[in-house]
């Protein structure tokens, strides 16, 4: 029971930290593109209005950027404090992209951020514009290395297990970087940031319209943000389709949980909500073939054979082979000095069953089923809100183009109230991605319960509530500073 409590509290603490961090990251990614576009217009048009507009949104970007850094640093430290077994087991692989992110991307962001924020009258317009774009590009580069690390946890590639060091060691760096899951995850996360930044800018701009102030500024901001948001959301939908294909291929249990699919097969229907389905659509989305085979939860627990004759062992068979691999590993470690022949035999058994090594830590097949209800509804919240927000941006852009938006108070209120919902959609997406992977920290290689540090439950509980207080304070401070800057408005940027 103590072990389960330690795992649960360690997961809760990491979820808390990651959830708070993701409040700040997408807004950074989205505002970077929007403010850089506005500054580009100011340089092209030689118009001080666009410069003032860009400076206002840049101020909000800077506030958000600073708080996001603080939460991100804490997040990375938790790998060493709460997940030391994980850090040891895969440190050579997981640490590489994080190190590159810290050295290259963070350095790039910090350097060009200083020029961007403080260099308005100190460098040429084109130099400043370059710094603004490079700040946004640096934020995206930072994201890609973090997402490469995360994608490796979803689909581990480019490594092999070394029983002598008890670690997975990198053998192909480019396989890690070019992991198809990483590429799609990067674009999906970045474009979700575009949507977040766009809804934020549209909502705040509509607040100005409701207050009947800064009308030209508000409408111009809405025009740029809506265009960025619509393009980003359309790209988000495409990358989401590719994510579904990858889930079907590399994490079929996650896909089955997201659909609440107990029994799979061919021409599988897509569940919109319980009781309402689209025939054959899940097969199309998962395999791009209406006759494509999609396994269900029970198929994966009991084993199944695909139409092409590929046999997939049951969960119990995987567990047995995993325990065989684990016992062979222990035998090899014990005998490699005293009995090399027996040790080599044990290593041979280990190599034959290495694909199931992580299953050796699983006690019951039911452990391999993630929380289905949570994932099912999180997926629908993500998709449903994403679709509604896309429709909202299209309507807002149409109303602005037709010069009707200033008179449509209901639409202004809808845009303002939409701001929290874009964050809910983003958090729901990460629930699907991370909770859907459970019980694995690294898919098929290392279960969560084998990755935690040997620390007391009390220590994790204490730091959990400490982080709740600290992060809530961070968020409150950011909101207070942002609200103050918004109330001052772009007029403050005329100086």
State yes or no: pLDDT of 183 exceeds 50. Answer: yes
Which residue is associated with the tokens 């092209």? 44
C-alpha span between 80 and 71 (Å, rounded):
16
> What are the helix and strand counts (H, E) for the chain?
17, 10
The token duo for 100 is 């590159």
Round to whole Å and give the CA distance between 72 and 113: 17
Q: How far apart are CA 191 and CA 32, in angstroms?
A: 12
Q: What is the mean pLDDT of residues 416-434?
A: 96
- Average pLDDT of 275-295? 95
- At residue 3, the pLDDT reads 64
What are the tens digits of pLDDT across the range 478-491?
Answer: 899 999 999 999 87
CB 482 within 8 A of CB 63: yes
**What mean pLDDT comes out for the span 413-419?**
97
- The pLDDT assigned to 108 comes to 76
- Residues facing 169 on adjacent strands: 160
- What is the Cα–Cα distance from 239 to 97, expressed in whole angstroms? 22
Residue 146's pLDDT is 87
Cβ atoms 273, 247 nearer than 8 A: no
Give the lowest-confidence range in 117-121, 261-265, 278-282, 419-423: 117-121
d(CA 433, CA 350): 30
Q: Is the pLDDT of residue 211 over 90?
A: yes
- Identify the sign of the CA torsion 16, 17, 18, 23: positive
Please give the structure tokens belonging to residue 479. 């909101």
Instruction: Give the bridge partners for 271, in sequence order.
Output: 277
Cα–Cα dist 360/325, whole Å: 7
Q: Is the pLDDT of residue 327 over 90?
A: yes
Distance from the first to the final alpha carbon of the chain? 62
pLDDT above 50 for 464? yes
Average pLDDT over residues 141-152: 89
Residue with tokens 């190190």: 99
Is the backbone peptide bond immediately before 439 cis, with ω within 30 degrees of 0? yes
Helix, strand, coil shares, percent, the chain, to 5: 75, 5, 15
Does the structure show a pLDDT above 50 at 1? no
What pLDDT, on a 0 to 100 scale, did the predictor assign at position 96?
82
Q: What is the phi/psi pair of residue 427, to 5°?
A: -65, -40
Eight-class DSSP state of 440: E
> What confidence score (pLDDT) does residue 241 get?
94
Residue 420 has pLDDT above 60, yes or no: yes
Q: Calculate mean pLDDT across residues 175-189.
A: 93
Q: Are 210 and 412 in contact (CB under 8 A)?
A: yes
Residues near 217 by beta carbon (within 8 Å), at least 6 away in sequence: 49, 52, 53, 56, 205, 208, 489, 490
Query: For the segment 374-393, what is each residue's pLDDT rounded down to a tens digit?
Result: 999 999 999 999 999 999 99
Q: Across residues 162-167, what is the average pLDDT?
A: 88
**Any residues with CB less than 8 A from the CB of 66 and at least 6 apart, and which?**
none
Cα–Cα distances (Å) from 82 to 13, 88, 250, 344, in that order, read 9, 12, 27, 34
Measure the CA–CA gap between 126 and 39, rounded to whole angstroms: 10
Reduced to 3 states (helix: H, G, I; strand: E, B; else coil), residue 52 is: helix
pLDDT at 184: 94
Q: Confidence band (pLDDT; 50, 70, 90) for 360?
A: very high
Q: Which of 136-145, 273-282, 311-320, 438-447 has the lowest mean pLDDT?
A: 136-145
The overall average pLDDT reported for the chain is 92
Q: How confident is the model at residue 76 (pLDDT cuts 50, 70, 90)?
A: confident
**The token pair that represents 134 in the structure block:** 């490079």
CA–CA gap between residue 165 and residue 47 (Å, rounded): 62
Q: Which of 63-67, 131-135, 341-345 has the lowest mean pLDDT?
A: 63-67
What span, in angstroms and rounded, lies between the C-alpha atoms of 164 and 101?
29
> Beta strand 311-312 with 276-278: parallel, antiparallel or unpaired?
unpaired
Q: What is the DSSP letter of 493?
A: G
Q: Residue 46 in contact with residue 129, Cβ under 8 Å? A: no
Q: Helices (DSSP H) in 336-456: which residue ranges? A: 340-352, 372-401, 409-417, 419-430
Here the tokens at position 352 are 């034959």
């Amino acid at each position: 029971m103590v072990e389960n409590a330690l795992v649960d509290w360690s997961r809760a603490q990491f979820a808390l930290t990651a959830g708070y961090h993701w409040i700040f990251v997408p807004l950074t990614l989205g505002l970077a593109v929007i403010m850089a576009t506005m500054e580009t217009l100011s340089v092209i048009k030689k118009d001080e209005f666009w410069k003032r507009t860009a400076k206002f949104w840049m101020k909000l970007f800077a506030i958000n950027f600073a708080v996001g850094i603080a939460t991100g640093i804490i997040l990375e430290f938790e790998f060493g404090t709460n997940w030391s077994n994980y850090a040891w087991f895969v440190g050579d692989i997981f640490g590489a992209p994080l190190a590159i992110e810290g050295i290259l991307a963070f350095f790039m962001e910090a350097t060009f951020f200083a020029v961007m924020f403080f260099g308005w009258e100190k460098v040429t317009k084109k130099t400043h514009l370059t710094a603004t774009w490079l700040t946004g590009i640096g934020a995206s580069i930072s994201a890609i290395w973090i997402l490469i690390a995360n994608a490796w946890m979803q689909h581990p590639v480019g490594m092999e297990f070394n029983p002598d060091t008890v670690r997975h060691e990198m053998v192909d760096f480019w396989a890690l970087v070019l992991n198809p899951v990483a590429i799609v995850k990067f674009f999906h996360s970045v474009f979700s940031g575009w949507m977040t930044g766009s809804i934020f800018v549209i909502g705040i701009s509509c607040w100005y319209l409701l207050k009947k102030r800064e009308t030209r500024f508000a409408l111009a901001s809405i025009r740029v943000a809506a265009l960025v948001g619509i393009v980003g959301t359309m790209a988000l939908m495409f990358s989401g389709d590719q994510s579904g294909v990858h889930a079907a291929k590399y994490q079929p249990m996650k896909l089955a949980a997201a659909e609440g699919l107990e029994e799979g097969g061919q021409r599988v229907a897509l569940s919109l909500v319980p009781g309402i389905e689209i025939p054959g659509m899940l097969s199309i989305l998962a395999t791009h073939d209406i006759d494509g085979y999609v396994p269900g939860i029970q198929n994966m627990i009991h084993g199944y054979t695909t139409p092409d004759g590929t046999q997939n062992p049951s969960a119990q068979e995987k567990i047995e082979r995993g325990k065989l691999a684990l016992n062979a590993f222990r035998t090899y470690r014990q005998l490699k000095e005293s009995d090399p022949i027996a040790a080599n035999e044990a290593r041979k058994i280990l190599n034959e069953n290495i694909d199931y090594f992580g299953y050796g830590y699983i006690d019951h097949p039911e452990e391999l089923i993630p929380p289905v209800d949570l994932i099912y509804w999180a997926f629908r919240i993500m998709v449903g809100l994403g679709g509604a927000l896309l429709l909202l941006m299209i309507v807002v852009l149409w109303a602005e183009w037709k010069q009707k938006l200033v008179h449509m108070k209901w639409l202004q209120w809808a845009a303002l109230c939409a701001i929290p919902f874009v964050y809910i959609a983003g958090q729901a997406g990460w629930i699907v991605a991370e909770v859907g992977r459970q019980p694995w920290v690294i898919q098929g290689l290392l279960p969560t319960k084998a990755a935690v540090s040997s620390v007391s439950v009390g220590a994790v509980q204490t730091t959990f509530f400490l982080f709740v207080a600290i992060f809530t304070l961070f968020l409150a401070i950011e909101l207070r500073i942002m609200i103050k800057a918004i109330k001052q408005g772009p007029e403050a940027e005329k100086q």
